[in-house]
Structure 1
Amino acid sequence: MAIGFASRAAVSTCALCTAGLLALAPAAATAGTRPNPAPQAGSGARAAPDSLLYRSGTQVRPRAEAPEVPELSARSWLVADADSGEVLAAHDAHRRLPPASTLKTLFALTVLPVLPGGLRHTVSEEELSDIGPGSSRVGVAEDHTYRISDLWNGVFLSSGNDAVHVLAALNGGWRVTAERMQEKARALGAHDTWVRSPDGYDAPGQVSSAFDLAVFGRAGLHSPDFARYCSRVEAMFPGRDGGSYGILNTNRLLTGADGVERYPGLVGIKNGYTSNAGNTLVAAARRDGHTLVATVLNPRSGGGHTVYEEARALLDWGFEASGRVDPVGSLDALRATSLPGPRGRPAAGPTPASAPEARDAEPERPVAWTITCTALLGAAGVALFLRLRWGPTVPG
């Protein structure tokens, strides 16, 4: 009878351990995945602020006497406080669209820290190969020696894909740079971005979003080098004959060129255009010690300068609305709190072949470790019970 009791007790203990394991497993799985904060249709519950950014249409939470949000033609846009990260208003913030050269913001965030501006490099023919037809160029020439800072001027001011190709080659190559940009995006909490061509040139599957690009622009403002380059209006670029020539920033909201009125307090960032992306822009401006960042993707009306005027309207509204609206989300909402590994690499997500449809929802290692540890604790509990009941086992 004693043996039967022990057996029943052991079975009961195992059952309790199994029940505990099953109860803990869903919680562990939830902790190891990135939740999709999009609200469920028909839930009736008030959405959390960050979930509003996953809704279609314009999202804003005005208080009394808040100014009316401007009517824009862009397919996607966002305006946020660059200091706090609070999103003041947005339209289809997570809609995945081709970014054009605004993707160079992510390229700079990834590569600037590893290539000091004072270094000098002689460009090879191979480094200028495979530049897409119709690409914007600053005029980099093979067998010519440039300072790295010259090449960054070419990236930020002239949006030069030739300069990007040379810098990417120095960073380990085109594919390595794309992979590192992808890692950087995820570390910053930018999950809509899939990098195929580091220069922003149209490529199948290459997308970003107004949210992600605002994240990149805001992060860039915290880098002294990035902030200096993106706000530079003009610079001299080395010529092939030993002389130099002037280059002007193509961001007309910064320069006031081509009939576009310069925006007061603009600190720059990056504009872009491709046939697939249309006109795109990430802009930041400072007023009375307060900085805003705005993203405008692909205006559907007007000409090529509409992107600047719609960004102007967003910035004007943002400065007026500051303190009169509640945030609809945060640019920090999806940022990684910690990154494993000595190089700060995030846990592996879906392979490029599965992007951009993948949603990064696969369980990570903490799930497996939690379940394994729970099972081991259960087994230890059974062994302890039997040892206490029957005493130590003597080898025969």
Structure 2
Amino acid sequence: MSIRDFHLRTALCLGAALTIAAVTGGATAAPAPATPPSSTTTTPFSTPNTDGCPQKIRPPAPIDESEVPSPGEPTPSALPVPSPPLGGARMGECGVVIPKGAPPVPQDISATAWLVSDLDTGEVLAAKDPHGRYRPASTIKVLLATVALRKLDLNKVVTGTQEDANVDGTKVGIGPGGRYTNRQLMQALIMASGNDAAHAIAAQLGGDAGAVAQMNELAKSLHALDTRTASPSGLDGPGMSTSAYDLTVLFREAMSIPLFAELVHTEEVDFPGYPKSPENPDDKDHPGFPIGNDNHLLYEYEGAIGGKTGFTDDARQTFVAAAERDGRRLAVTLLKADVKPLRPFLQAARLLDYGFALPKGADVGQLPDSSTKPSKTGAVLASPPPKDTDQEVQASAEDNDRSGTRTLLVVGGIVLVLALLLGARRRNKSRY
């Protein structure tokens, strides 16, 4: 074999190897580097351990200044810890709590605390750190919705304000001068988690402070004693707290209101726009637009009834939802979860599957008695949503980056092979 042929064959092998490595996801072994790289060992995922009751008294320390009291305001003291624990003796445990003889719980759960219950009987089927205290994020809108649905005239028309539009966090798109019924504000609050909708609703309940006071009063009346609301929307604030047990209680109470049960199961509705600003001559009218439900379990889990999502930097991912199978309706709550190893709605699906597989009568605790029973929606499975939420886009972007890298390697390998073949052909022509 000539040297020219040897180099050509070597180059062809290199190009093919690049292509194969890209197609197989890099499974082809690579030559060992001359200098060992620095350590990049990744710690395997493990479910957070709560056996030592780290959150028995208060939520984890905040990572930002969102819970610093305003000047002149005192720092809220920790809520008292009820003794004996509400819901039964086993609800006082801090690790995983399952019925005797039950199989192990799913492993790919990043939620620090969670609870699975029967929505109708109130039986707690399984839990992890059920009374541990965490932040609720936007799942606390379940409590605001319960207060508002029982006190506000849903046909009343409210005019949007600049203060509504200026709120922090997730917004549905309320604009100054827009005209919205309270029913539409409730749709924006429950389906799209609009903090601007929460502000417009709270304004009718005595402002943020008045709404928060009524939310805390209702939580206390429901024996949700790990719960203290600091904002109507779920934005973190001084003293904010809930537990997996409490959030399940609050969701169960909300589901006793037929309109709430309807709204959490609604896929999409049209939301009003708002007029152009008279102070800005370049502004134009803002037309209405559709809003979709941000709960992906509703679209991707058979029998899903509905639920509520939440996220802040301190609370991390929070989630509460319910599903029905063979006439049995279960609820699931997640607190302080992450988007890995599974997105929160998929973790919820795993836990719901676990709960449905348990025999009836297998329980570890009991939610407080309710004078009303949740109303069945009778709705059919919805179609997939049009787009992902911000957090899920962030998670899926990593998958897209890996896919794009493979594509570039495939193309690069093919181009290298073709270029080398063309170069070899030209050299052959020049020699002869």
Normalised by the size of structure 2, how large is the TM-score? 0.62
**Cα distance in structure 1, aligned partners of 2:339 and 2:170:** 24
**Cα distance in structure 1, aligned partners of 2:81 and 2:132:** 18
Q: What do the CA deviations read for 1:265-291 (whole angstroms, capped 9, x no partner)?
A: 111120111111111100100112211
- State whether structure 2 residue 100 is matched by structure 1 residue 62: yes
Q: Which of 313, 317, 336 is 1:279 aligned to?
A: 317
Which amino acid counterpart does residue 307 of structure 1 have in structure 2?
P
Where do 5+ consecutive residues of structure 1 fail to align? 1-32, 39-47, 256-261, 337-396
State the partner residue of 1:87: 124
- State whether structure 2 residue 353 is matched by structure 1 residue 316: yes
Q: What do the CA deviations read for 1:63-107 (whole angstroms, capped 9, x no partner)?
A: 4xx443223221100000011101011100111111110000011
**Cα distance in structure 2, aligned partners of 1:243 and 1:136:** 20
Where do 5+ consecutive residues of structure 2 fail to align? 1-79, 275-284, 372-432
**Cα distance in structure 2, aligned partners of 1:263 and 1:84:** 22
Which amino acid counterpart does residue 286 of structure 1 have in structure 2?
E
Which amino acid counterpart does residue 159 of structure 1 have in structure 2?
S
Q: What do the CA deviations read for 1:333-371 (whole angstroms, capped 9, x no partner)?
A: 7x89xxxxxxxxxxxxxxxxxxxxxxxxxxxxxxxxxxx
**Cα distance in structure 2, aligned partners of 1:288 and 1:184:** 32
SS of the residue 2:94 aligns to: coil
Q: Which of 321, 328, 346 is 1:290 aligned to?
A: 328
Q: CA deviation at 1:231?
A: 1.0
**Cα distance in structure 1, aligned partners of 2:318 and 2:164:** 27
State the partner residue of 1:251: 295
State the partner residue of 1:371: none
State the partner residue of 1:98: 135
- Kindly report which structure 2 residues correspond to 1:77-156, keeping only aligned pairs within 5 A, or say none: 77-128=114-165, 131-132=167-168, 135-156=169-190
Q: CA deviation at 1:292?
A: 0.5
Q: What do the CA deviations read for 1:123-179 (whole angstroms, capped 9, x no partner)?
A: 2334555x22xx000000111111111111111111000000001001121101000
- State whether structure 2 residue 350 is matched by structure 1 residue 306: no
Q: In the superposition, relative to structure 1, how do residues 236 and 49 fare at CA in structure 2: closer, same or farther (>3 Å)? A: closer
Which amino acid counterpart does residue 330 of structure 1 have in structure 2?
Q
- State whether structure 2 residue 270 is matched by structure 1 residue 236: yes
**Cα distance in structure 1, aligned partners of 2:165 and 2:229:** 20
**Cα distance in structure 1, aligned partners of 2:130 and 2:152:** 32
State the partner residue of 1:37: 84
**Cα distance in structure 1, aligned partners of 2:328 and 2:141:** 25
**Cα distance in structure 1, aligned partners of 2:242 and 2:303:** 27
**Cα distance in structure 2, aligned partners of 1:161 and 1:300:** 22
Q: CA deviation at 1:306?
A: 2.1
**Cα distance in structure 1, aligned partners of 2:261 and 2:296:** 17
Q: CA deviation at 1:251?
A: 0.8
Cα pair 1:128 1:166 within 8 Å, conserved? no
Q: Which of 213, 216, 219 is 2:253 aligned to?
A: 219
State the partner residue of 1:194: 228
**Cα distance in structure 2, aligned partners of 1:294 and 1:269:** 9
Query: Structure 1 vs Structure 2: percent identity of aligned residues?
Result: 38
State the partner residue of 1:329: 365
State the partner residue of 1:267: 305
SS of the residue 1:152 aligns to: helix
Q: CA deviation at 1:118?
A: 1.5
State the partner residue of 1:352: none
State the partner residue of 1:167: 201
Q: What do the CA deviations read for 1:222-254 (whole angstroms, capped 9, x no partner)?
A: 100111111111111111237421111111111
Q: CA deviation at 1:299?
A: 2.2
Which amino acid counterpart does residue 137 of structure 1 have in structure 2?
K
SS of the residue 1:61 aligns to: coil
Q: CA deviation at 1:300?
A: 4.8
Cα pair 1:62 1:324 within 8 Å, conserved? no
Count of aligned residue pairs for this structure pair: 281
**Cα distance in structure 1, aligned partners of 2:171 and 2:153:** 22
Q: In the superposition, relative to structure 1, how do residues 206 and 127 fare at CA in structure 2: closer, same or farther (>3 Å)? A: same
- Kindly report which structure 2 residues correspond to 1:42-53, keeping only aligned pairs within 5 A, or say none: 50-53=88-91
Q: Which moved more, 1:48-57 or 1:99-108?
A: 48-57
Cα pair 2:110 2:337 within 8 Å, conserved? yes
Q: CA deviation at 1:116?
A: 2.5
Which amino acid counterpart does residue 217 of structure 1 have in structure 2?
F
**Cα distance in structure 1, aligned partners of 2:136 and 2:114:** 12
